[in-house]
Amino acid sequence: MAELLELQTSVAGAENAHELRELSRERRRLVSVLVQRARKVLNENEHAPSPQTMGRIEATLLAATSPGERELLRTGRLQKELTGGGFDTGIWGAMEPRAESQATGPTPSRTRRRDLERAEKLEAEAHAATREAAELRTAAGRLRRKAKRAEAQASEVEGRAERAESKAAEARNKLDP
């Protein structure tokens, strides 16, 4: 937990998109570990967690952006779940002040936020595509093995058919004087 909360604080010091991507990957890894630990604790204490409960735990882990929220999370003294209001209130909320700018048009912080949103979305799509490719490779391997078995069976059946035709020809020859 301390590692995740430190990571949320360090996002503000990120200097480039590459560093933000690395922090995002690390955030997903840490949140996944913590969610799995929460599931284990709930199961060990005979509380079967629903997918909704696990989702709320994950959202709370990501929503602790203010120092006060992080301290409550660190000490385990939450009285209710934390909820984020979207992209800028999650881990990335530490990067920008919450007050909206009065300027018209995109400000550097809005442009940066959009770029970060786009980068995170593309990264998620790439991850999903990689997972799908691995699943398709596995399915293709299964189909190749199945096709080889079918070819072997077909070859065996062809051999039996040839032997049966040969026996039939022999039988015909014996019948014909």
Tens of pLDDT, residues 27-83: 888 888 989 998 999 989 988 888 888 888 888 887 776 777 777 777 877 777 776
pLDDT of residue 108: 59
Whole-angstrom distance, CA of residue 117 vs CA of residue 15:
16
- Which pTM does this prediction carry? 0.45
Category of 105 on φ-ψ map: left (φ > 0), alpha (ψ -120 to 50) or beta: left
pLDDT of residue 85: 45
